[in-house]
């Protein structure tokens, strides 16, 4: 299951922790040559393809696809690099309204069990708030929350999928808050949902001020990954992932970037194209940075030592890992308004930071590809984000590591 939902629910399984051996265990990896150790081979092909398969289509006619665990919702609420910034953007928008906050009809699309942004809008003076939630359980909890907090006169919870819902009496919202953003920004169906909301739910859909966030983005950079270097075939067959990315906590030092990040997906909510969906093809050439490789080697050495590898083994493996590419890491960035943005990794360098979103790493070769400073990774990003909410997005990245 590739979405943020699945990732959050499986946080323990999917983060770097499996590498850290129990106190009494010493991991000694076999001295196996890495892929691409043959220096005469100057181009090494890499590729991965996957789909946001647990989107709507996996539930047939039920349309109940989104069902985060309560702990996942709580992680979102507690995300200090996200939630206070959304509140700031909501306040900015309410206070900039000509008729004042009280004049504003707000839509919280995908409100969750805490009716989080609906409550923040009401608390900060919005005149009327509608909150839509597809999950029956979350909608019920949202109703309870709103009642408990005494906002049930101002906030109306509408249960169901937004594409099936209209606001009462033909009303439309002055602005819509929609945090339906995945770790690959488009993977939770934001594009199709916003395209529909354009037509029916918002007064001035082509105005960026009608949307919080006003645009959602995905950044990418080639990455080295400890476990890919530690667990090699035949002991571990990475091709069995079938392109399904590994997901990391954005603070996980087991993944390090090899170059500056590049924007590979950029969806403006005010400008969602009307007919074709986003079939985005981008060719990118990343140049691998010597400075990054040196820093990464130091960091990997610490990681391997924490994982109780003997000193010499940790040194050998950190050099091998630092000089290798496992795939292209991806993570989201949200532009909330002209002055507020939310980053899941540090911007612009892609450094580690705390976030409830994850860094997504498709493993793009059976074994890590050996590289050195100045080598290049030339890939084509082919992201297909349908206009039909019932169809999951699909992602393909392929190209070559070009060694000098």
Long-range pairs of 98-103 with CB within 8 A, sequence gap ≥ 24: 100/125, 101/125, 101/126, 101/127, 102/126, 102/127, 103/127, 103/174
Nearer to ligand SAM, 68 or 225 (CB): 68
133 part of the interface to ligand SAM, by CB under 6 A: yes
Question: In the complex, what is the shortest distance from the CB of residue 108 to ligand SAM, in angstroms, rounded to a whole number?
Answer: 6
Give the interface size with ligand SAM as a residue count (CB under 6 A). Answer: 21
Nearer to ligand SAM, 69 or 207 (CB): 69
> Which of 8, 52, 132, 340 lies at the binding interface for ligand SAM (CB under 6 A)?
132
355 part of the interface to ligand SAM, by CB under 6 A: no
Q: Under 8 Å CB-to-CB from 221, ≥6 apart: which residues?
A: 257, 258, 259, 260, 261, 262, 286, 328, 329, 350
Residue 103 CA to residue 46 CA, distance in Å, equals 54
Restricted to residues 56-75, the positions that interact with ligand SAM (CB under 6 A) are: 66, 68, 73
180 part of the interface to ligand SAM, by CB under 6 A: yes
Restricted to residues 288-347, the positions that interact with ligand SAM (CB under 6 A) are: none
201 part of the interface to ligand SAM, by CB under 6 A: no
Hey, how many other C-beta atoms are within 10 angstroms of the C-beta on 167?
A: 18
Closest listed residue to residue 110, CA positions, set 19, 179, 7:
179
Residue 214 CA to residue 269 CA, distance in Å, equals 5
Question: What three-state secondary structure class fits 47?
Answer: strand
| Residue burial 352-363, b: 16+ Cβ < 10 Å; e: rest | beebbbbbbbbb
Restricted to residues 142-171, the positions that interact with ligand SAM (CB under 6 A) are: 161-162
Question: In the complex, what is the shortest distance from the CB of residue 367 to ligand SAM, in angstroms, rounded to a whole number?
Answer: 35
134 part of the interface to ligand SAM, by CB under 6 A: yes
Q: In this structure, are residues 233 and 241 in contact, taking their beta carbons and an 8 Å threshold?
A: no
Half-sphere exposure of 351 (CA within 13 A, CB side): 8
Nearer to ligand SAM, 293 or 342 (CB): 342
130 part of the interface to ligand SAM, by CB under 6 A: no
> Which of 112, 222, 332, 386 lies at the binding interface for ligand SAM (CB under 6 A)?
112
> Which of 7, 48, 52, 76 lies at the binding interface for ligand SAM (CB under 6 A)?
76
Question: In the complex, what is the shortest distance from the CB of residue 91 to ligand SAM, in angstroms, rounded to a whole number?
Answer: 16
Q: Considering all CA atoms of the chain, what is the largest pairwise distance in Å, rounded to the nearest integer?
A: 72
Question: In the complex, what is the shortest distance from the CB of residue 161 to ligand SAM, in angstroms, rounded to a whole number?
Answer: 5
Residue 113 CA to residue 307 CA, distance in Å, equals 38
- Segment lying near ligand SAM (by CB under 6 A), choices 26-34, 95-103, 112-120, 316-324: 112-120
Contacts to ligand SAM by CB under 6 A: 66, 68, 73, 76-77, 110-112, 116-117, 132-135, 138, 161-162, 179-180, 189, 193
């Amino acid at each position: 299951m590739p979405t943020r939902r699945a990732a959050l629910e499986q946080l323990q399984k999917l983060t770097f922790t499996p590498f850290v051996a129990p106190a009494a265990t010493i991991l000694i990896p076999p001295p196996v040559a890495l892929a691409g150790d043959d220096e005469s081979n100057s181009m090494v092909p890499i590729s991965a393809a996957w789909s946001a398969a647990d989107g709507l289509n996996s539930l047939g006619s039920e349309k109940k696809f989104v069902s985060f665990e309560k702990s996942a919702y709580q992680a979102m609420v507690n995300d200090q690099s996200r939630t206070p910034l959304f509140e700031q953007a909501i306040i900015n928008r309410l206070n900039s309204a000509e008729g004042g906050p009280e004049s504003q009809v707000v839509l919280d699309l995908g409100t969750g069990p805490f009716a989080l942004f609906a409550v923040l809008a009401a608390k900060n003076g919005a005149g009327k708030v509608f909150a839509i939630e597809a999950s029956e359980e979350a909608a019920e909890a949202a109703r309870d929350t709103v009642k408990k907090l005494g906002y049930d006169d101002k906030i109306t919870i509408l249960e169901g999928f937004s594409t099936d819902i209209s606001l009462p009496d033909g009303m439309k919202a002055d602005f819509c808050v929609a945090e339906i953003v995945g770790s690959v920004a488009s993977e939770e169906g934001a594009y199709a949902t916003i395209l529909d909301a354009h037509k029916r739910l918002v007064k001035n859909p082509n105005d960026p001020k009608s949307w919080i966030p006003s645009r959602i983005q995905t950044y990418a950079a080639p990455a080295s990954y400890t476990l890919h270097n530690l667990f090699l075939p035949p002991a571990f067959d990475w091709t069995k992932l079938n392109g399904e990315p590994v997901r990391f906590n954005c603070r996980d030092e087991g993944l390090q970037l090899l170059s500056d990040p590049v924007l590979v997906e950029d969806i403006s909510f005010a400008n969602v194209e009307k007919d074709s969906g986003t079939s985005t093809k981008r060719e990118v050439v990343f140049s691998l940075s010597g400075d990054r490789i040196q820093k990464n080697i130091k960091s990997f050495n610490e990681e391997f030592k924490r994982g109780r590898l003997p000193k010499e083994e940790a040194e050998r493996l950190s050099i091998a890992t630092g000089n290798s590419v496992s795939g292209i890491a991806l993570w989201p960035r949200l532009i909330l308004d002209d002055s507020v943005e939310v980053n899941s990794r540090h911007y612009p360098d892609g450094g580690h930071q705390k976030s409830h979103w994850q860094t997504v790493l498709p493993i793009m070769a059976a074994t890590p590809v050996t590289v050195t400073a100045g080598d290049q990774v030339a890939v084509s990003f082919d992201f297909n984000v349908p206009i039909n909410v019932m169809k999951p997005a699909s992602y393909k990245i392929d190209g070559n590591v070009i060694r000098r």
